[in-house]
């Protein structure tokens, strides 16, 4: 379904702009009118990370007049493998500011507006209202549902994208004309079921494919060219170099855009998406030690004054990157299938850890249920260990 352009054309292009955008201007479907619409457009990109990097650069290069960036984080060395808007000298700096510098280098005509905050219930409406279109480049379910609900409640369209390892997804959600994110995914996956890119990894270049597809959808919506991916979930598989599209229907029972909505205002997205399962949270109460305590325990063990078995429940490829001395690797899945339970020593206290403490809390719930009542897990996991105890090891 084609839709009218989202924005009216700007009054004129300068001579410099005509030169700069000449390869757009000679495409009949874009022409002067399309380029002037891009100049008049106000687009908000949420997150200057993997997807936000190519999205912001291409939106700026395409001549989108006003680009907003919502981002609260700073550039980490591990971002540089895919977040091409930032460079080595930006490590430690504000991602929003670093992104602005690259955008202005790409296209100094861009009016860049920084929102150096975490997008949340208190600021989302005020920020969204300033823009014609939103591009979601975030990496967590709580923000995705927040973006969707705020967009539905304000009647705004947005372009959504997601990436994991070798696969990506892109769609356009606009409840007035098609389904919303909740029609496709009514509920977030159970906590711990879908690993984040930080846990599962992502092929850096995948961000370019998916981020560029998001920009393509944005340009189509802004200028009215082509059919935007409303009601279409585009799935990209990098290993087959293949895009395929699935139809997404508007759900009449959708909680927010259905016939009888039950969600009529913003909700608590963190608890809706539950960072940790209830059982895991319960298991961790009174059974969590800090990395400092673990470090003391390891010294006592070395002196023969304490005995315990440290078990790393991450994946083998994570164990190759860094590890806590004395740990043995038994991935979480082996506890879920039950095969790990037979391997556990019965005569020692068990101490579990993972990357940040979520998976180990889930394992704790399983082993406590199996009778290992004095088992504990390490809060903050190997991330906290590298940060506080052994900075010589690489973080990831």
Ligand X SMILES: Nc1ncnc2c1ncn2[C@@H]1O[C@H](COP(=O)(O)OP(=O)(O)OP(=O)(O)O)[C@@H](O)[C@H]1O
Residues carrying an active site annotation: 197, 354
Could you tell me which residues come within 8 angstroms of residue 392 by beta carbon, excluding any fewer than 6 positions away?
none
Q: Which stretch binds ligand X (CB under 6 A): 135-143, 149-157, 308-316, 317-325?
A: 135-143
Q: Which stretch binds ligand X (CB under 6 A): 30-38, 64-72, 251-259, 312-320?
A: 64-72
What minimum distance in Å lies between the beta carbon of 160 and ligand X? 13
Q: Which stretch binds ligand X (CB under 6 A): 70-78, 174-182, 221-229, 311-319?
A: 70-78
| CA–CA gap between residue 16 and residue 31 (Å, rounded) | 16
Could you tell me which residues come within 8 angstroms of residue 19 by beta carbon, excluding any fewer than 6 positions away?
none
Residue 45 contacts ligand X per CB under 6 A: no
Read off the tokens for 121: 């219930």
Residue 79 contacts ligand X per CB under 6 A: yes
What minimum distance in Å lies between the beta carbon of 82 and ligand X? 6
Sign of the CA dihedral with 246 first, then 209, 42, and 37 last: negative
What minimum distance in Å lies between the beta carbon of 206 and ligand X? 11
Q: Which stretch binds ligand X (CB under 6 A): 73-81, 183-191, 345-353, 379-387?
A: 73-81
Question: How many residues line the site for ligand X (CB under 6 A)?
Answer: 22
Residue 139 contacts ligand X per CB under 6 A: yes
What minimum distance in Å lies between the beta carbon of 163 and ligand X? 7
What minimum distance in Å lies between the beta carbon of 118 and ligand X? 4
Q: Which stretch binds ligand X (CB under 6 A): 42-50, 268-276, 315-323, 381-389?
A: 42-50
| CA–CA gap between residue 393 and residue 382 (Å, rounded) | 10
Residue with tokens 């009449």: 252
Residue 95 contacts ligand X per CB under 6 A: yes
Residue (48 or 280) nearer to ligand X, CB? 48
Residue (70 or 367) nearer to ligand X, CB? 70
Residue (6 or 197) nearer to ligand X, CB? 197
Among 9, 47, 157, 381, binds ligand X (CB under 6 A): 47
Residue (198 or 235) nearer to ligand X, CB? 198
In the complex, which residue's CB is closest to ligand X?
Answer: 49
Residue 252: Cβ within 10 Å count: 10
- Please report, as residue ranges, which positions from 195 to 234 form the binding site for ligand X (by CB under 6 A): 196-198
Which parts of this chain interact with ligand X (CB under 6 A)?
A: 46-50, 70-73, 78-79, 83, 95, 118-119, 138-140, 143, 196-198
């Amino acid at each position: 379904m084609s839709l009218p352009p989202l924005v009216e054309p700007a009054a004129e292009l300068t001579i410099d702009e005509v030169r700069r955008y000449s390869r757009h201007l000679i495409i009949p479907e874009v022409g002067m009118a399309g380029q002037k619409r891009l100049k008049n457009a106000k687009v908000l990109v949420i997150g200057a990370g993997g997807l936000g990097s190519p999205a912001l650069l291409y939106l700026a290069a395409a001549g989108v007049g006003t680009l907003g960036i919502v981002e609260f984080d700073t550039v980490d060395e591990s971002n540089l493998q895919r977040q091409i808007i930032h460079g080595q000298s930006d490590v430690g700096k504000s991602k929003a500011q670093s992104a602005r510098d690259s955008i202005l280098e790409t296209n100094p005509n861009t009016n860049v507006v920084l929102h150096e905050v975490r997008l949340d219930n208190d600021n989302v409406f005020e920020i969204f209202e300033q823009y014609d279109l939103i591009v979601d480049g975030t990496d967590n379910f709580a923000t995705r549902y927040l973006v969707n609900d705020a967009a539905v409640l304000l009647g705004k369209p947005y372009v959504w994208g997601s990436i994991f390892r070798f696969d990506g997804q892109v769609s356009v959600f606009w409840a007035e004309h098609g389904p919303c994110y909740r029609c496709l995914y009514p509920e977030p996956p159970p906590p711990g079921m879908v690993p984040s890119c930080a846990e599962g990894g992502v092929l850096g270049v995948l961000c370019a494919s998916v981020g560029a597809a998001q920009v393509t959808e944005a340009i189509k919506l802004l200028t009215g060219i082509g059919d935007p991916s409303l009601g279409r979930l585009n799935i990209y598989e990098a290993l087959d170099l293949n895009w395929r599209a699935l139809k997404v229907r508007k759900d009449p029972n959708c909680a927010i855009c259905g016939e009888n909505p039950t969600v009529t205002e913003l909700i608590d997205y963190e608890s809706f998406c539950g960072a940790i399962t209830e059982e895991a949270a319960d298991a961790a109460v009174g059974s969590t030690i800090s990395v400092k305590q673990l470090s003391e325990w390891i010294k006592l063990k070395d002196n023969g004054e304490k005995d315990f078995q440290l078990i790393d429940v991450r994946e083998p490829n994570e164990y190759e990157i860094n590890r806590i001395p004395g740990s043995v690797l038994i991935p979480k899945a082996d506890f879920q299938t039950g095969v790990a339970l037979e391997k556990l020593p019965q005569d020692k206290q068990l101490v579990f850890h993972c990357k940040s403490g979520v998976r180990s809390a889930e394992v704790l719930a399983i082993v406590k249920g199996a009778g290992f009542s004095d088992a504990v897990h390490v809060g903050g996991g190997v991330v906290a260990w590298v940060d506080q105890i052994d900075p010589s090891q690489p973080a990831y």
